Structure 1
């Protein structure tokens, strides 16, 4: 009997409203609850659960080790691959973040796209959020793109894309959207294509 996604979605919403939902434990429960949505993606339910477990492990390790690093580092997880983005204070913090990212069981690859912080980071943060929001909206409203298959991170105007594309054409469509967004400085794709162009 298929698992209903409605109770899982309700659990995720409930976790957001409860005290402590932003704690590593709350994040772990929320990540597990979102497995229902991820199950509809190309990677399937088992991979979605594995990725949720990795994300929970990352939250736990970063939170316990270094609260500043926990706040500075963003991570996307797809098929056991962890993409690190964000700005960190020092090169030593970057090394520590990569070390922590390898620790959860099931991690197959760590992609380090962290940058050491500069004076423009705070100014660029709002613009980066705007770019990410714009791209996510483009993907959600395009019926030819399965938006649930992608994780998007934007750092200093560079768009990092991680996930699974059904076809090369779908990935090309996303790249066209990226190029049309103002203030984008670059595009880096770590997308696995299920059906490459012939």
Structure 2
């Protein structure tokens, strides 16, 4: 049996609904298959090229082996790579172990920057890790449902109640994503490991003096105001520069579409 093209199927469904007088019941189907579907695909698309995604996967695999060799099975270390920038989270027994893991990461082929968030303390238990996984899932779900946030270009990692956001975002996207994370149940602290990029639409770009791209780690806690992305000092908020080369992989504009309510 020969299948009809997708557009033909959509048109047939819509025509059937109209003929049957069931327009209200069919509107959600038409929207999901049309405007909403297209917007969601653009919003959820990964801004990394296929080559960069593969590089990040290779870095994570190689880095895990390096951690095992450096610690000999001690500690609990998670390695997350995004645009060849490595985030280290988890727990290690000593400060020397923390330094050894970071040194191993910096020696790993392809790594362009390391953010060491390892804590010197006993390993977290299964209940804590399960809770962290649930929190990350909640944040991701809320990011997907937030208009104008490129959820597919944001990695979410949670460790002992601290949620890390990784990605390449405009100032507006970063502020929106941070706000979503801060308001998610279970999130105790938000750390942003991001490359700030100019808004491709020309609206709401970086503050003056930041240049076309800026790398930073920014953290917020509790209900404190959002951290300005221009780099000015804010009490209680730390900003650490992260060495990261310019990546030639310009993001595509995020298309935001406002739809009328379904009657």
Contact 1:43/1:164 (<8 A) preserved: no
Shift of 1:186: 1.3
**TM-score normalised to structure 2 length:** 0.53
The alignment partner of 1:68 has SS state of coil
Quote the residue 1:172 is aligned against: 175
Quote the residue 1:41 is aligned against: 46
Quote the residue 1:56 is aligned against: 61
The alignment partner of 1:53 has SS state of helix
Shift of 1:75: 1.3
Gaps of 5+ in 2: 1-44, 199-204, 208-263
- From 152, 155, 170, the equivalent of 2:156 is 152
For the residues of structure 2 that align with 1:66 and 1:48, how far apart are their CA atoms? Answer: 27
- From 128, 133, 149, the equivalent of 1:129 is 133
Q: How many residues align?
A: 156
For the residues of structure 1 that align with 2:99 and 2:139, how far apart are their CA atoms? Answer: 30
Work out which of the two has the higher radius of gyration on C-alpha atoms and give 1 or 2: 2
Contact 1:164/1:191 (<8 A) preserved: yes
Gaps of 5+ in 1: 1-39
Residue by residue over 1:61-97, the C-alpha shift from the partner in whole angstroms, topping out at 9 and shown as x without a partner, is 234454635x711111112210101112222221221
Contact 2:70/2:100 (<8 A) preserved: no
The alignment partner of 1:182 has SS state of coil
Shift of 1:151: 1.8
For the residues of structure 2 that align with 1:87 and 1:129, how far apart are their CA atoms? Answer: 16
Residue by residue over 1:17-65, the C-alpha shift from the partner in whole angstroms, topping out at 9 and shown as x without a partner, is xxxxxxxxxxxxxxxxxxxxxxx52122232222222222213323445
**TM-score normalised to structure 1 length:** 0.69
For the residues of structure 2 that align with 1:182 and 1:67, how far apart are their CA atoms? Answer: 36
Q: Does 2:114 match 1:110? A: yes
Quote the residue 1:190 is aligned against: 193
Contact 1:85/1:112 (<8 A) preserved: yes
The alignment partner of 1:164 has SS state of strand
Over aligned residue pairs, what C-alpha RMSD do you find? 2.3
The alignment partner of 2:134 has SS state of helix
For the residues of structure 2 that align with 1:114 and 1:62, how far apart are their CA atoms? Answer: 12
For the residues of structure 2 that align with 1:183 and 1:126, how far apart are their CA atoms? Answer: 12
